[in-house]
């Protein structure tokens, strides 16, 4: 299966307690380009032959295989087996907690050897919760220093936007994106509230994702973007509600990244990044902002409905 640039992936983390077969099916029917496989949460996800079968059956390539934060040799070897079986070139490692020295020592002591033995694999480390571009005074996780992932461990960055410290995202990550964009192998796309509740529907809350993706576009980013959302139980229980959320993501992603042509920075230069509320939030409260965006999004989704159906017909 041919893989595409800037592929939009569905992370299996978005659908906890779903069978893996059903997740592949949902990804296919909701216009995703591929799968971000969290092998640690599904026993059947650790069977490389079964994963390969699902990928071929649903015509859904596996772009990413991710491990747990308690990584050991057995799990890493299995992850590489899945990468080989599915022609996946990106292996993502969840950062262990600061107190987990066993997993950290295994990663730091053995990663170079694994990289040397698997030169075609992008070994990537996820930015943990409250990550900053530079060092934290008292980090809760190893690898919280994003620059250290590149310089100290010679790895790629799995940029989980929902885990980035909000102030750092506005003042450091966006401004210095030229410095680290070449080292990003995958982006976890989501939004967060002012109270740091994360992995919410992108472009509807507090993070200035428009500005981030405009600057990312200027950096010629071509790697995948994965969707990991904390859906409500009512959304997880209803395929129609789930489909509605995924449609919003697709429309936003196309509008603010894939089809973006105006890369002028003039509008961004006027943003007050030091204010309590980012300048792209034009309403007084997050709830009001969300209600307004719901109406706008519904209009966008409706206008794209026929276009998406046509795309489905071409695919089928």
pLDDT in tens, 191-218: 888 877 888 888 888 888 999 999 999 9
Neighbouring-strand partners of residue 8: 225
- Report long-range pairs for 107-111 (Cβ below 8 Å, ≥24 apart): 107/71, 107/142, 107/153, 108/153, 110/73, 110/76, 111/153, 111/155
Please report which helix (H) or strand (E) contains residue 50, including its range.
helix 48-58
Place of tokens 């206008």: 303
Report the alpha-carbon distance of residue 307 to residue 176 in Å, rounded.
36
Assess contact for 177 and 141: CB atoms under 8 A. no
Neighbouring-strand partners of residue 218: none
Residues 86-109 have pLDDT tens digits of: 999 999 999 999 999 999 999 999
**CA Rg value for the chain:** 19
**Percent of the chain whose pLDDT exceeds 90:** 54
Report the alpha-carbon distance of residue 316 to residue 29 in Å, rounded.
11
Report the alpha-carbon distance of residue 297 to residue 256 in Å, rounded.
13
- Nearest Cα neighbor of 207 from 243, 242, 159 is 159
- Nearest Cα neighbor of 189 from 169, 219, 172 is 169
Taking residues 226-241, report their average pLDDT.
Answer: 92
Taking residues 232-247, report their average pLDDT.
Answer: 92
Angle at Cα 147 formed by Cα 142 and Cα 152, nearest 5°? 70
8-315: CATH architecture: Alpha-Beta Barrel (3.20)
Assess contact for 127 and 160: CB atoms under 8 A. yes
Q: How confident is the model at residue 316 (pLDDT cuts 50, 70, 90)?
A: low
Stated pTM of the model: 0.81
Which are the contacts of 51, defined by CB distance < 8 A and separation ≥ 6? 20, 37, 44, 45, 62, 82, 85, 86
Assess contact for 145 and 132: CB atoms under 8 A. yes
What does the mean pLDDT of the chain come to?
83
Assess contact for 126 and 161: CB atoms under 8 A. no
- Residue 74 has what pLDDT? 95
Report the alpha-carbon distance of residue 151 to residue 82 in Å, rounded.
28
Q: Is 201 left (phi over 0), alpha (psi -120 to 50) or beta?
A: beta
Report the alpha-carbon distance of residue 298 to residue 202 in Å, rounded.
15
């Amino acid at each position: 299966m041919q893989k595409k640039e800037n592929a939009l992936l569905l992370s299996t983390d978005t659908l906890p307690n779903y069978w893996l077969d059903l997740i592949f099916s949902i990804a296919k029917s909701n216009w995703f380009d591929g799968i971000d496989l969290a092998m640690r949460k599904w026993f059947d996800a650790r069977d490389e032959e079964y994963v390969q079968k699902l990928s071929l059956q649903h015509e859904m390539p596996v772009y990413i295989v991710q491990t747990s934060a308690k990584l050991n040799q057995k799990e890493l070897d299995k992850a590489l087996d899945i990468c080989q079986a599915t022609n996946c070139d990106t292996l993502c490692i969840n950062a262990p907690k600061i107190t987990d020295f066993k997993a950290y020592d295994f990663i730091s002591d053995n990663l170079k050897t694994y990289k040397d033995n698997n030169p075609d694999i992008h070994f990537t480390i996820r930015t943990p919760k409250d990550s900053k571009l530079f060092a934290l005074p008292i980090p809760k996780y190893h690898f919280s220093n994003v620059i250290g992932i590149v310089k100290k461990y010679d790895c790629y960055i799995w940029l989980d936007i929902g885990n980035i410290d909000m102030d750092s995202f506005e003042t450091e990550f966006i401004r210095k994106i030229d410095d680290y964009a070449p080292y990003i192998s995958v982006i976890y796309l989501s939004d967060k509230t002012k109270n740091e509740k994360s992995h919410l529907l992108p472009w509807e809350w507090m993070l200035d994702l428009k500005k981030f993706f405009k600057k990312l576009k200027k950096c010629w980013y071509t790697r995948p973007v994965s969707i990991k959302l904390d859906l409500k139980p009512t959304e997880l229980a209803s395929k129609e509600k789930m489909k509605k959320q995924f449609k919003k993501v697709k429309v936003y992603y196309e509008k603010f990244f894939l089809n973006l042509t105006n890369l002028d920075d003039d509008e961004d230069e006027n943003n007050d990044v030091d204010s309590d509320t980012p300048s792209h939030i034009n309403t007084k409260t997050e709830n009001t902002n969300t209600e307004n965006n719901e109406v706008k999004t519904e209009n966008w989704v409706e206008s794209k409905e026929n276009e998406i159906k046509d795309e489905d017909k071409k695919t089928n």
